[in-house]
Amino acid sequence: MPDPLKSLQDYLAWLEERGSLLRVRDPISPILEIPSFLRRVMYNRGPTVLFENVAGYPGWRVAGNIYQNLDTVREALGVGNLEDIGERLVGLVQSPPPVSLGEKISSLRKAKEVSSLLPRRVRSARFTKNIVEDGPLASLPLFKTWPRDGSRYITLGLVIVRDPQSGITNMGVYRVMEKSPQEGVVHWQVHKRGALAYKKALEEGRRLPIAIVLGSDPGTMLAGVAPVPYPMDKLFFAGVLRGKGVDVYELDNGIMVPANAEAVLEGYIEPGKSSPEGPFGDHWGFYDRPLEEYPVAVFERLYHRDDPVYPGTVVGLPPLEDAVIGKVIERVFLPVMKMVFPEIVDVNFPVHGVFQGLMIVSIKKRFPWHGKKVLLGLWGVGQTSLTKMIVVVDHFVDVHDLGQVMWAVTSFAHPGRDIVVLDNAHTDSLDPTSIASVGAKIGIDATVKFREEAGRDPPDIVAPDERVEEKVARVAEKYGVKGGDPWRRLVREYLDTIRVWYEARGGSTP
């Protein structure tokens, strides 16, 4: 069996052995046609597609729907649960200091484990075999996804830059618009790590070297989408995702890129050179035409391996492939969120809320107005700070069951008391109600409110008589009536929550 983490092509071979790779041999163009094909596949959660006859781009093949579903991604990354990856990261920082000899020995073992996740520099890479210097973008099968997109776009490239001050490498998946055969406009939003590196280069009046990696193994590519806390190096984080370090190759411009790349664009951004960007049919399903300008990257050369595969994705009305990618990130980062907010039990970014739109979070509430504390905290850190709507519920509500969430919101949220609206707040620039990354936010604290918060006790929930339940279950089964009461677990935990809350305050349960 091929190793899916060796390279994109090995991953495709691995998928093929599992029967989940579709080869398309008909001639098909990356201008509207491949995107249309991929949308059909993605809306139906189909296989990964390898287009072998890309009209207009001989020598290139195109791979799409690379992240076909959560199980395939989990197996490719070699973990039982996607959360295990986040645990791996949290484990590096969250453990008591070693005191005994045994603990010291085991911490040495841990240090060895960490070193196996570090990037390793190599002196050769297949992608250096072929070099195109004349109009490198023109030779690539970039997609035009929607009829009114402003140009062709790189849609799943890893944009790599180094922080000019710290030397930390960032890899981000940002769309890049073809401006000319030699230039691309890099759409990193102002809050993102790539934009921060550029800001520092601007302040120092220095050119920012840049590379765009087109096609790497699925673990390394995911690192580009991951909201990794600054200033952790993304090449290191790619090792955490893959469970083994990434082999890196240093380009002439000093940027380290994954050595297993299919193709690499190398260039620079001249400080202050910017351009209008868009329109681009985005993942909310609307054409985005930014008011602000974005920096222009000049590409001096394209490297590519023999018989390269170009990776692309398409966005539009949800849920497309970005829904799978977003869910992978949600699961991987749950342990990290729990490290920052120990009260968090689970999170759900419903796919139709396109991740930055809506977040549902459940917490183990410990003190009055704890729900609001979590709301404000999430709006203050990392990329959850871009979330437009956040709903906080108690731990007994299953955040993935939207029915239960609606019940909790309508039961426990008092509109005059439990809703926080923040006007003139920063937001994801794609939010269709925003103007240049400025919009508004709403938070709903839908946790149960206690006497100290509401001036009244929580509502008295209906709970069946357990003995009657057992007896009736036996009788019902005789008549083929199966299945219990879907609310039983929730009701028990609700009652326990109320009991513990009042007992912790030395009172008795109402």
Name the residues annotated as catalytic: 282
Q: What is the DSSP string of 185-224?
A: EE---TTSHHHHHHHHHHHHT--EEEEEEE---HHHHHHT
Phi, then psi, of 365 in degrees rounded to 5 = -80, 135
d(CA 362, CA 399): 7
Minimum separation from the CB atom of position 211 to ligand FMN (A): 14
Where b means 16+ CB within 10 Å and e means fewer, 399-424 reads beeeebbebbbeebbeeeebeeeeee
The residues pairing with 452 across neighbouring beta strands, listed in sequence order, are none
Phi, then psi, of 194 in degrees rounded to 5 = -60, -40
How does DSSP classify residue 449? P
Phi, then psi, of 196 in degrees rounded to 5 = -70, -40
Minimum separation from the CB atom of position 312 to ligand FMN (A): 9
The number of helices, as runs of H, and strands, as runs of E, in the chain is 14, 23
Place of tokens 């596949």: 41
> Smaller CB distance to ligand FMN: residue 35 or 458?
35
> Smaller CB distance to ligand FMN: residue 213 or 444?
213
- Contact criterion met (CB below 8 Å) for 408 and 360: no
Which residue's Cβ lies closest to ligand FMN? 192
- Contact criterion met (CB below 8 Å) for 89 and 338: no
- The region that residue 449 occupies, defined by phi over 0 for left and psi between -120 and 50 for alpha, beta otherwise, is beta
Neighbouring C-beta atoms of residue 126, cutoff 10 Å? 18
Give the residue from 190, 199, 226 showing the smallest Cα distance to 429.
190
Pair type for strands 309-312 and 61-64: parallel
d(CA 87, CA 399): 21
Q: Which residues bind ligand FMN (CB under 6 A)?
A: 155-156, 170, 172-175, 187-189, 192-194, 224-227, 313, 315, 322, 325, 383
- Contact criterion met (CB below 8 Å) for 237 and 223: yes
> Smaller CB distance to ligand FMN: residue 378 or 498?
378
> Smaller CB distance to ligand FMN: residue 169 or 447?
169
